[in-house]
Copies of this chain bind each other. A is one copy, B any other.
C-alpha cells in the first residue's frame, strides 16, 4: 500500500509541505485536514481585500477540487483534528458538518496548525462588532458588519502589522480610525525612532494613534453591540462601531500538547533542524513550530507566512524521505501603511539589548536614486551591530517601498554573519534612474562603522 502522509492545517506551511512531498514522490497518498471551510488562501491578503483592492475569492489559490485535480492531494475541510494517537499512528478528527468522528491513519504526520490571535483578556471582546483575523471568513465578517452597521468609527487594538494594514484599509474606506497600542510605539519589531515615521504617516492621513495606553474594557449596548473602547490610561472613552483586536498571536499547539509532544520555551512545538518533533514520524512546520533565530541562535516563534512556507517546503521534503534541514530565519518583515513602507530584519536595538547584546546603531536619511533624478525613493535606513565584534545584528528601513525592499540585502548580510565593514564593501547595483552611486545602505553602514 502507498505510504500515507497526513497534514493537519491547510495553509502556508501545510499546503507547501503537501505539494512538495507529493511532487517529490507521486506514489505518496497525501491528505490535508483543515478545520476551516477553505484551504490554501493568503491570509496576508485579508487587509487588502477589506480595503477593496482585491477580492476575497482571489486570495484563495486552491479549492479541494482543484488541489485534487492539479496536484493529486486530498483536502478535507471543516475537519477539526481533536486527537493524535501516536502509538496507533492515527489522528481523530471531528467533521464539523455532521459532528461525526473520523479516523485518519498516517505513516508520517505534519502538524501545521498555525497560530491564533491572543485575547486581550478584557471585558467586551464577545460583543457584536468586535473582530480578530485569523481566517479569511473573519475579513468577510468585518466587511459585512461595516455595511450592516453603517460603521463610521473604528478602533484598532494593537499596532502590529495586521492592525496597521487594517487601519489603512479602513482609512481608505473613509472610516475614522483610532489605533491604540500598549507599548510606547507601534510595530514592535522596529525601534521607536523608526516606528515613529509610520505613526506620523497615519496621523497625516487622518488616523489617530494612541501609544502607551492600556485598554480597560470594550463597552457595548444592552443589545450586545459594541459602542466604545474605554482606556485605563487617561480614562478616555473612544466611541466605536467596529473594534479590531490584534494584540498578539499564540501558536496552536493543543493537539501536540495533548499527544505528549514536547513544546519549546517559546510555547511553540519544539523541532529539530529536520523539523521532527519529539514524537516518532511526526513533524511540525509553520507558525505552530519553533524556528531558530539566526542572530540569537535560539528557537522562537516567528509568525510570518514566508517562514511558514519555507519550513513547509523543508518538511515536505522530509515527509517524502529526504533529509533536508531548515537553518532558521531572521523575522524579516515588511508592512505598507498608506504612503509609507516599513521593513525590519534581525534584531532591533531594543531587542538586541533585551537579548544581552551591546548594540550600536546608526541611522541615515537617503534616496535610492541619483540626486539629479530628483526626489526618488526617500527612506530612512537604520543598521545595528554588536559593539565588540562589529557583527551586524539587525536593520530597519522606513520610507518609500523601493527603499524598504532593500532590507533584503541586509537580511542576506546578517545571515552570512557579516561585520559592518564586510557589508559596507558589498558591490551593489547602480544606475542613475534607479540607484545612487553610494547606495543608502552603504552610507548607513559607513556611518555605523564610525561608531564602532
Contact = CB atoms under 8 A, between A and B. Distances in A.
A361 interface: no
Contacts of A431: 44, 165, 333-336, 341
Interface stretch (A92-100, A226-234, A260-268, A306-314): A306-314
A141 interface: no
A370 interface: yes
Interface in A54-101: 54-55, 58-59
A236 interface: no
A434 B336 CA distance: 8
A333 B408 contact: no
Contacts of A405: 402, 405-406, 429, 434-435
Which of A55, A310, A331, A336 has the most C-beta atoms of chain B within 10 angstroms of its own C-beta?
A310
Nearest to A333: B429
A203 interface: no
Contact of A437 (B44, B48, B333, B432): B44
A16 B224 CA distance: 68
Given A332-B429, A434-B341, A372 B408 contact: no
Interface stretch (A172-180, A192-200, A347-355, A418-426): A418-426
A415 B437 contact: no
A334 B58 contact: no
Given A406-B408, A408-B409, A431-B334, A306 B437 contact: yes
Contacts of A437: 12, 42, 44, 305-306, 309
Nearest to A45: B432
A438 B42 contact: no
Interface string A149-165: 00000000000000001
A398 interface: no
A195 B407 CA distance: 28
A329 B425 CA distance: 8
A303 B261 CA distance: 58
Contacts of A294: 427
A409 B412 CA distance: 6
Interface in A257-308: 294, 304-307
Nearest to A306: B430
A437 B40 CA distance: 13
Nearest to A314: B425
B58 A372 contact: yes
Interface residues of A, number: 68
A429 B313 CA distance: 17
Contacts of A422: 327, 415
B370 A427 contact: no
A63 to B, nearest CB: 16
A345 interface: yes
A401 interface: yes
A206 interface: no
A23 B329 CA distance: 39
B305 A430 contact: yes
A45 B372 contact: yes
A385 interface: no
Contact of A412 (B58, B401, B412): B412
Interface string A36-48: 0000001011001
A215 interface: no
A433 interface: yes
Nearest to A12: B437
A111 to B, nearest CB: 20
Given A409-B412, A416-B416, A331 B372 contact: no
A336 B237 CA distance: 54
A313 B430 CA distance: 17
Contacts of A416: 412-413, 415-418
6 nearest CB pairs, A to B: A416-B416, A412-B412, A334-B429, A58-B372, A329-B427, A334-B431
27 contacts: A42-B372, A42-B437, A44-B370, A44-B431, A44-B432, A48-B372, A48-B432, A48-B433, A54-B372, A165-B431, A294-B427, A306-B437, A310-B427, A310-B442, A332-B427, A332-B428, A334-B434, A336-B431, A401-B433, A402-B405, A404-B429, A405-B429, A408-B426, A409-B411, A412-B423, A416-B416, A416-B418
